[in-house]
Structure 1
Amino acid sequence: MSEVKISAEPRTEFGKGGARRTRRAGKVPAVLYGHGEKPKHIALPAREFAAAIRHGGANQLFAIDITDGTQALALTKAIQRDPIKDTFEHVDLLLVRRGEKVTVDVPVQLVGEPAKNTLVMHEHDTLSVSADATRLPESLEASIEGLEAGSHVTAGDVTLPQGVELTVDPETVLVVVSAAPTAEQLDAEAGVVAEEPAAEEGAEEGAPEQPTEAAAEQPVQA
């Protein structure tokens, strides 16, 4: 993964109000920390940061040029997003050095097609690995080509790039391949659901719901 150069400026306003003003100015509030240094609060340009994350993923490496004259090499450690606006609320950046090994979770992509009439179930969609901070893989591939029902793919089955090491048990199951349900099985399940009574025997249609015994015992407050 190549590093992305990005500019930043120190932040002097903190708290929710300061963060909102930073975002309204088209910037993302962020904090730099690591290597025993005092955390440094900065603001990143939102558009450039978003483009880098879309291209490089959550483990993007940044070469940060801060307007106070300092520079930093950092990895995205945690990203907070607005679930409605899909914008970046805050970013934690971990300081790293060239040649330093770091541990990150890398997305696993499935390649190939399993045997017919099978279902592929994900147990884990990321894999924890250790690698040089400047040579982190953007993703890893796990092959499911031709796998029959009853097969599985483990962490140890994934081919890792040179210099990348697993930090989890190689027997960790990533993918399980099972037999797809037959039409008869689907029909049988549908039949069981259809035969279930719509209401309990003796219940009157349209009758109001009765409170549970526990609820009925609660005292009424004036």
Structure 2
Amino acid sequence: MKTITIEGQLRSEYGKKATRQIRSEGQVPCVIYGGAETVSFSAPAIAFKNLVYTPDFQLAEVKLDGKVYRCVLKDMQFDVVTDELAHIDFLELVEGKHVSVTLPIKIVGQSEGVKAGGKLVVKIKALKVKALPKDLRENIEVSIDNLELNGNVRVQDVVAPNIEILNSPRIPIASVVMTRQLRQEEASADTKKK
């Protein structure tokens, strides 16, 4: 799994004034929680570019004063006016302790319905899951090989060993819909039969 390394400095001062000072220096205030202790730190805004602005699920290795924390991105806030990164929350990965994260879906295979002239429509792009840190992966593969025309692949059809999917099981992930051209061809075939 892809890991982004972020080097930061521990924060000693807190409050609005200290946070404004950190942001004015091009730094982003951050917090790591979920482990033995809550750690507040700051790091340059540029260090988060490859972690924040991507659809991929990645781990973050945060290095602070010689100590390394393995984390996942949990939450982030942006400035409402400038749209710059204002704050990031990380969740520390602790072996043997389940974490809830959002993993992207990767559609694999060729649908029978698409081969027959239908159009693949992807309804959701990610799943909320709960797993141990060792079972986390970059994405969840969803096969559409058996997907027929007007058929759906639902959350309940996803096979992900050692991962508990938290989304409702009836939600469709992808479906193959009939195109306008295919409907017109079927309608003209029906009128020829009569």
TM-score, normalised relative to structure 1: 0.64
**Secondary structure in 1 matching 2:28:** strand
Distance 1:8 1:53, change over 3 A: same
Q: Which aligned pairs between 1:1-222 and structure 2 lie closer than 5 A?
A: 1-11=1-11, 12-15=13-16, 18-35=18-35, 37=37, 39-53=38-52, 57=56, 59-67=57-65, 71-81=68-78, 87-113=84-110, 114-145=114-145, 147-160=147-160, 162-182=161-181
Distance 1:140 1:19, change over 3 A: same
CA contact (8 A) 2:147 2:153 kept: no
C-alpha separation in 1, matches of 2:78 and 2:132: 27
Distance 1:179 1:51, change over 3 A: same
C-alpha separation in 1, matches of 2:81 and 2:116: 39
C-alpha separation in 2, matches of 1:19 and 1:120: 47
Distance 1:89 1:166, change over 3 A: same
C-alpha separation in 1, matches of 2:146 and 2:162: 29
C-alpha separation in 2, matches of 1:125 and 1:55: 13
Greater C-alpha radius of gyration: 1
Gaps in structure 2 of 5+ consecutive residues: 185-194
C-alpha separation in 1, matches of 2:148 and 2:183: 21
| 1:77 Cα offset (Å) | 0.4
Give me the CA root mean square deviation: 3.3
CA contact (8 A) 1:53 1:60 kept: no
Question: How many pairs were matched up?
Answer: 180
State, as a whole percentage, how many aligned pairs show the same letter. 27
CA contact (8 A) 1:22 1:43 kept: yes
More relative contact order, 1 or 2 (CA 8 Å, 6+ apart)? 2
**Aligned letter for 2:44?**
P
TM-score, normalised relative to structure 2: 0.71
CA contact (8 A) 1:118 1:180 kept: yes
| 1:84 Cα offset (Å) | 8.2
Moved more, 94-103 or 80-89: 80-89
Gaps in structure 1 of 5+ consecutive residues: 186-222
Q: Deviations over 1:74-109 (max 9, x none)?
A: 221012245886642211112231232212121112
Distance 1:84 1:125, change over 3 A: farther
C-alpha separation in 2, matches of 1:159 and 1:25: 46
Distance 1:87 1:137, change over 3 A: farther
